[in-house]
Amino acid sequence: MRKVKKLEVKGVKFLQQFRDFAMRGNVIDMAVGIIIGSAFGKIVSSLVDDILMPPLGYVLGRVDFSNLTITLRAKTDVSPAVTIGYGAFINTIVSFTIIAFAMFILIRQVNRIADTGKKPVMKDCPYCFSKILKKASRCPECTSQLVETTVE
């Protein structure tokens, strides 16, 4: 009887630990990011397949990129054709390029917002030459009173 109770307690503790792990902010943020990324990938795929590639194919002589293939072995009664679908590969490369560019712009903007105001403006103390904040009125190293000078 004791072994059963121990197993139940361990199982409950394991489930509580798993719940705590799964409900952390990082895991939930990651899950949301994956879901949004998946939906964004579908939007970009539709953009490439349905909006960008048809006019591009039309300009290049009515080419449907998704159907471009190299036939390695023709279809027979017994076996299907063996082909390399390089048109689908071209579509995938265009999709990847669009997603990579969008992510570059997004990360660039996030970094720009995150970096705003974080770097303190520094100056040298005229007495001990240590780096101090530009707005400082007294040096924290040598405790000298700093006189603000203005250049005209």
What's the pLDDT score for residue 9?
60
Q: What is the pLDDT of residues 26-64, one digit of tens each?
A: 777 888 889 988 888 888 888 888 888 888 888 878 777
Average pLDDT over residues 112-129: 80
Greater confidence (73 vs 111) lies with 73
Greater confidence (90 vs 6) lies with 90
Greater confidence (128 vs 110) lies with 128
Contacts of residue 107, defined as CB under 8 A and 6 or more positions apart, other chains included, come to none
Q: What is the pLDDT of residues 58-98, one digit of tens each?
A: 887 877 777 888 999 998 999 998 999 898 898 888 888 88
pLDDT band at 10 (very low <50, low <70, confident <90, very high): low
Kindly list the domain boundaries of the chain, sorted by start residue.
2-119, 120-152
> What is the pTM assigned to this prediction?
0.51
What's the pLDDT score for residue 150?
47
What's the pLDDT score for residue 84?
92
Average pLDDT over residues 130-135: 87
Which residue(s) pair with 133 in the sheet? 122
The angle formed by the CA atoms of residues 67, 87 and 104, to the nearest 5 degrees, is 140
CATH number of 2-119: 1.10.1200.120
What's the pLDDT score for residue 41?
84
